[in-house]
């Protein structure tokens, strides 16, 4: 009897001790958990010292209609400013390696300069990005005649492309600041067939990516090739040319051009030419070997329509790096060869020869007249979709 009782007492003690140790462990676990939360919280507030936002202000008037400037701020305080006139990005501020914030795109402070026909600084481009030979193309053996605004060729949508129209703007700020722009491009505009209903969405993420998403539908067969025309100078100072920037383009081939910058139709290997940017290269190292400088379409190596990293631009001095991701098959690298100091940047400095460069994601120039290039035809019932993002970081 006694031994049974003692055994029972021992068992009860063991159970009690077991529970005590569990409580102790629980306590330990909760303390550790709280410490981790605290540490992460502090780290979080250091990186993300403000919440993202999007604000709207009046920018000026175009043809008696008010246009606006939208300021997209991410949670690091970096900002992109966009006007609904031409969907133009007027500035994008980002720190250099010492933390100094500067504007890394070319742009103006006021709408008046944008009305003086600058060469597409920061603008949305359409209905067809880049050139169409002689401003002519056919769909189902019907010939369409477009406005010719670049010698005998059609460039970037004609005389009044999407860079010179007022877009309808809607602001979204759920998790990341987003600007949704809509434009109805009428049947016959600049010679294009079909009413094209377009939506372009700009988003600035907390990872310093500027995302641009394009959607469109038509009511008649037409051609579409939308892009965006930021001029980048990662030094943050347009007194510097872009010749010391380094560039990588993931492309084995490019499309050579004739004297009017229309592709000859050939898909040519970049091997042993100044067009080889497969390994990162200083832009200035071989530019003099290219007549007129770089203004060509690279045939990207990517094989599908997934959003893929295709190019890297880097300025060693500031440490700013930009990666380009796209769903498109081509990339136009334009080294600012026609810049001549005529226009003055927002900071009062003239925009001289090669002080900005463009990396325009696209289908190939003159594709509507070049059967071996991927088609840009859009038919009623189909959906045009394209997405590109530019991601900034420090290296
Ligand atoms: C074209 C250049 C043109 C520039 C500005 C680029 O996309 O490839 O030839 O001069 O835009 O108009």
Residues 242-259 have pLDDT tens digits of 999 999 999 999 999 999
Query: What tens digit of pLDDT does each residue of 370-380 get?
Result: 999 999 999 99
Alpha carbons within 13 angstroms on the beta-carbon side of residue 342 total 11
Mean pLDDT computed over every residue of the chain: 91
In the numeric block, the tokens 């502090």 are attached to 42
Query: Where does the pLDDT of residue 174 fall: very low under 50, low under 70, confident under 90, or very high at 90 and above?
Result: confident
What's the sign of the alpha-carbon dihedral 297, 301, 302, 304? positive
pLDDT value of position 144: 98
pLDDT value of position 2: 36
Nearest to 86 by CA among 121, 52, 60: 121
Nearest to 55 by CA among 79, 20, 30: 79
Substitution site in 130, 132, 155, 356 for ligand 1 pocket (most atoms within 8 Å of beta carbon): 155
Mean pLDDT over 278-290 rounds to 98
Query: What tens digit of pLDDT does each residue of 289-343 get?
Result: 999 999 999 999 999 999 999 999 999 999 999 999 999 999 999 999 999 999 9
Nearest CA, atom 6, ligand 1:
334
pLDDT value of position 10: 52
Portion of the chain with pLDDT greater than 70, in percent:
88
Burial class of residue 265, CB neighbours in 10 A (0-12, 13-18, 19+):
middle
Nearest CA, atom 10, ligand 1:
338
Query: What tens digit of pLDDT does each residue of 204-237 get?
Result: 999 999 999 999 999 999 999 999 999 999 999 9
Residue pair 203/172 in contact (Cβ under 8 Å)? The answer is no
Q: Which residues are near ligand 1 (CB < 6 Å)? A: 119-120, 130, 261, 295, 332, 334, 338, 358, 360
Report the atom number in ligand 1 closest to the C-alpha of 155: 12
Laid out side by side, the sheet with 358-362 consists of 268-269, 253-255, 295-299, 330-334, 358-362
Mind telling me the catalytic residues? 229, 360
Q: How much helix, strand and coil, in percent to the nearest 5, is found in the chain? A: 15, 40, 45
Mean pLDDT over 141-154 rounds to 98
Query: Where does the pLDDT of residue 17 fall: very low under 50, low under 70, confident under 90, or very high at 90 and above?
Result: low
Mean pLDDT over 41-64 rounds to 74
For residue 320, what are the contacts with CB-CB under 8 A and spacing of at least 6? Answer: 94, 96, 97, 104, 234, 235, 236, 314, 392, 393, 394
pLDDT value of position 194: 98
Mean pLDDT over 130-155 rounds to 98
Report the atom number in ligand 1 closest to the C-alpha of 365: 8
* 130 CA distance to ligand 1 middle (Å): 7
Mean pLDDT over 127-144 rounds to 98
Task: Say yes or no to pLDDT of 6 above 90.
Answer: no
Mean pLDDT over 176-191 rounds to 98
pLDDT value of position 262: 98
* 64 CA distance to ligand 1 middle (Å): 29
pLDDT value of position 22: 46
Task: Say yes or no to pLDDT of 163 above 90.
Answer: yes
Mean pLDDT over 113-140 rounds to 98
């Amino acid at each position: 009897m006694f031994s049974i009782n003692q055994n029972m007492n021992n068992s009860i003690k063991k159970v009690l001790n077991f529970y005590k140790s569990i409580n102790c462990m629980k306590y330990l676990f909760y303390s550790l958990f709280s410490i981790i939360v605290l540490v992460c919280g502090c780290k979080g507030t250091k990186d993300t010292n403000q919440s993202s936002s999007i604000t709207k202000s009046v920018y000026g008037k175009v043809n008696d209609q008010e246009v606006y400037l939208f300021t997209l701020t991410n949670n690091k305080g970096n900002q992109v400013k966009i006007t609904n006139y031409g969907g133009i990005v007027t500035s994008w501020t980002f720190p250099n390696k010492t933390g100094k914030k500067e504007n890394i795109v070319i742009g103006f402070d006021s709408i008046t300069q944008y009305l003086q026909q600058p060469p597409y600084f920061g603008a949305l481009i359409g209905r067809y990005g880049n050139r169409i030979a002689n401003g002519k193309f056919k769909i189902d053996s019907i010939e369409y005649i477009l406005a010719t605004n670049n010698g005998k060729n059609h460039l970037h949508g004609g005389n009044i492309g999407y860079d010179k129209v007022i877009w309808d703007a809607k602001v979204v700020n759920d998790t990341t600041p987003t600007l949704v722009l809509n434009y109805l491009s009428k049947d016959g505009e600049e010679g294009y067939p079909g009413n094209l209903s377009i939506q372009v969405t700009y988003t600035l993420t907390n990872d310093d990516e500027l995302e641009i998403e394009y959607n469109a539908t038509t009511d008649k067969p037409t051609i579409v090739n939308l892009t965006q025309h930021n001029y980048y100078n990662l030094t943050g100072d347009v007194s510097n040319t872009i010749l010391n920037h380094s560039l990588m383009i993931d492309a084995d081939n490019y499309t050579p051009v004739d004297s009017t910058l229309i592709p000859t139709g050939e898909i040519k290997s970049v091997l042993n030419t100044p067009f080889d940017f497969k390994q990162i290269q200083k832009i200035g190292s071989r530019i003099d070997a290219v007549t007129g400088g770089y203004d060509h379409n690279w045939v990207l190596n990517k094989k599908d329509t997934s959003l893929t990293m295709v190019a890297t631009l880097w300025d060693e001095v500031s440490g700013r790096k930009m990666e380009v991701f796209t769903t498109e098959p081509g990339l136009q690298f334009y080294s600012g060869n026609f810049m001549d100091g005529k226009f003055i940047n927002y900071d009062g400095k003239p925009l001289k020869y090669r002080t900005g460069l463009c990396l325009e994601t696209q289908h190939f120039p003159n594709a509507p007249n070049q059967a071996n290039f991927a088609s840009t035809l859009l038919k009623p019932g189909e959906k045009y979709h394209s997405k590109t993002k530019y991601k900034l970081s420090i290296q």
